[in-house]
Structure 1
Amino acid sequence: MIKLFSVKEKQKQEAASANGKGVKQSAGEIRLQKDISELNLSKGMSIKFPEGKDKLLIFEITMKPDEGIYRGGCFTFSFNISTAYPHDAPKVKCKTKVFHPNIDLDGNICLNILREDWKPVLSINSVIYGLQFLFLDPNPDDPLNKEAAEMQTNSPRQFEAQVQASILRGCSINGHYFPPCRA
């Protein structure tokens, strides 16, 4: 479990740093603080705040799967959270170029809870679990990378070999270079 700031402590700090200007947090920022304080990151996962821990709306999660065909890889996802969170879904992109049927070459992710199935009751933990599941069980039936989906469906052994080759030493697949991303 990760402990960053309690909601009240964070509000006190912001009020003190505002020198009496009365900085007010949005409901989305308060909810995000709660979600982050309750994160349950599994082994091989970490969180980073590139703009500082006081800028919670932008952060990165790094995953290192230890099972499935993506085991041994290291994948970083950027999260951009709207102040309308949790009514708006987080904007999540994969910063690591990966040969995956549900992640395109620009890092866009096909995960239903990031689109049409998002509900305010879901949390950052829900998104992280969804991302972990994509690495354990890629879904070729709902692809963003059609070439990866076709290979996974038609030649599963070749798909697994290409994924492992791209993770371990980097390789070109269908004219696109995937740099190594081993943990």
Structure 2
Amino acid sequence: MINLIKIREKQREAAENAGGSKPTIKEQTASELRVHRDISELTLPPTCKIEFPNGKDDLMNFEVTIKPDGGYYHDGEFPFTFEIPIVYPHEAPKVKCEIKVYHPNIDYDGNVCLNILREDWKPVLNINAVIYGLVHLFTEPNHEDPLNPQAADELRDNPTSFEANVIMSMWGHPVHGLTYDRVVEINDIDSNTEF
């Protein structure tokens, strides 16, 4: 994984060798130190990848992409942004889905209904737990605590119709009058998929 301590040591050595003067090293806040530890201890499942669009010096803002290998959302690609608050870990990360997805626990604006991002957040939880919680939302969507009540009702009352709507929405087709982002590519679909 990412070993930022070694990177900082190399930066310090390079600065000392370049000018012989003491380098200026940005002091890290407690939340930055905790995020550094969380990221260095990540054990991402093979269905996830993490990227740092602002570079590895900004660990407080990053993206996680989930590509489920089973369930209703098989073969879709779902990007999420993570914004870590300055009071982390006493406050949960702000997580948002960057695409429009037909899902009982994600609304049209990308807000995510995951209990550990709200009332069940505890400082002992970490970024790894949040990522695994998001993966779980795609393998086991929850109709009991929805952000999209129509999708939740359909999942509960008519799973076959729900599955058909998930497939249509993943291809970018409208469902119940709302258009969703295409999250699958032709190369990603196996030959047994029916439309």
Structure whose CA Rg is larger: 2
- Cα contact 1:7–1:30 (8 A) shared by 2: no
Determine the C-alpha separation between the residues in 1 that align with 2:9 and 2:117: 29
Deviation of 1:110 (Å): 0.4
Q: Distance in 2 between matches of 1:22 and 1:10?
A: 9
Which residue is 2:177 aligned to?
A: 175
Larger mean CA deviation between 99-108 and 4-13 belongs to 4-13
What pairs with 1:82-161 in structure 2 (closer than 5 Å)? 82-161=85-164
Aligned CA-pair RMSD: 2.0
Instruction: Name which of 37, 43, 60 aligns with 2:40.
Output: 37
- Residue 79 of structure 1: which of 59, 78, 82 is its match? 82
Instruction: Give 1:179 shift.
Output: 2.3
- Change in Cα spacing, 1:26 to 1:172, as seen in structure 2 (3 Å) is same
Deviates more, 1:71-80 or 1:21-30: 21-30
For 2:183, the aligned partner's letter is C
2-side partners of 1:165 and 1:14: how far apart? 53
**AA aligned opposite 1:112:** N
Check 1:8–1:179 CA distance in 2 against 1; reply closer, same or farther (3 A cut): closer
How much does 1:166 deviate?
Answer: 1.7
- Per the normalisation by structure 2, the TM-score is 0.85
Aligned to 2:191: none
Instruction: Give unpaired runs (5+ residues) of structure 2.
Output: 17-21, 189-195
Q: Provide the rounded CA distance (Å) in 2 between the counterparts of 1:146 and 1:39.
A: 33
Shift of residue 6, structure 1, vs aligned partner: 3.6
1:23, distance to aligned residue in structure 2 (A): 2.0
Please report how far the alpha carbon of residue 45 of structure 1 lies from its aligned counterpart in structure 2 after TM superposition. Answer: 1.2
State the SS of the aligned residue for 1:132. helix
Give the match's secondary structure for 2:138: helix
Identity %: 51
- The alpha-carbon deviation at position 12 of structure 1 amounts to 6.7
Distance 1:41 1:14 in 2: 30
Distance 1:9 1:172, change over 3 A: same
Per the normalisation by structure 1, the TM-score is 0.90
1:69 to 72, 86, 93: 72
Residues 68 and 75, structure 2, Cα contact 8 Å, conserved in 1: yes
Distance 1:157 1:170 in 2: 19
Task: Mark the runs of 5 or more structure 1 residues left unpaired by the alignment.
Answer: none
Residues paired across the two proteins, number: 179
